[in-house]
Structure 1
Amino acid sequence: MWGRFRRAGGKVADALRTEPRAEGENRPHNLFEAAAAYVTASAENDPERADEAAGWVSPEALSFGVNELACRAVIALARERGRSPEAVARELLGLPGA
């Protein structure tokens, strides 16, 4: 399941990237890159990488990016499973059906 989130986050970040990032390039990260890296690091239980990604953008921007990634992931999983986004979200969180 987390593999899907990582792939979705990577696709979102790649889609929003306007120029390829060269090795060692010091270009600022956008909020979706930060969110994808932060969520991936959190899912892989890597607090150092999560902290690094959290430092790329403001806390508000990171929160927005993580929220957007969560919404897109739930919608993608709902479509894939043929279920409602609410049912998928509740299932992911281990909540009983509504």
Structure 2
Amino acid sequence: MFDRIRRYAGRFRGTEEEKAPESRPSRERRTHNLFEAAAAYVAARAEDDQDRIEEAAGWVSPEALSFGVSELAYRAVITLARERDESPSAVARALLGLPVA
């Protein structure tokens, strides 16, 4: 997964640096928060929208995206565990289709 993100980001590094800031659409000039990028990336993955996946992956560095996705997963597991009145471990394993340890 992260290799795909790195390849995508690498494709645009050269072209983005060569473009003058005025030639970029105003939407691209906006600095994205790593949590916005993670939320958009995960939502696009859930909807299997490759264009949005690639767009969100380009908003921040691969390392920042990885951290944001990890933080989103942590918060989601904690929230589901509280809602289900189960342990975070049981919820995480259930989400991944693993047997309860």
TM-score, normalised on structure 2?
0.72
Kindly state the Cα deviation for residue 27 of structure 1 after the two structures are TM-superposed.
2.0
Alpha-carbon offset, residue 24 of structure 1: 4.7
Q: 1:36 pairs with 31, 39, 54, which one?
A: 39
| Corresponding residue of 1:83 | 86
Deviation by residue 1:60-80 (Cα, 9 ceiling, x = unmatched): 000000000000000000000
Counterparts of 1:61 and 1:55, CA distance in 2: 11
TM-score (norm 1): 0.74
1:17 corresponds to which residue? none
Give the number of the structure with larger relative contact order, counting CA–CA contacts within 8 Å between residues 6 or more apart. Answer: 2
- Partner Cα distance (2:30, 2:44) in 1: 21
Runs of 4+ in structure 1 displaced over 6 angstroms?
none
Aligned to 1:63: 66
Q: Percent identity?
A: 75
Q: 1: CA distance between counterparts of 2:89 and 2:63?
A: 25
Corresponding residue number in structure 2 for 1:45: 48
Compare the two structures and name the one with the higher helix fraction: 2
Match of 1:9 in 2: none
Provide the aligned C-alpha RMSD in A. Answer: 1.4
Cα distance in 2 between the residues matched to 1:90 and 1:31: 26
**Bigger Cα Rg:** 2
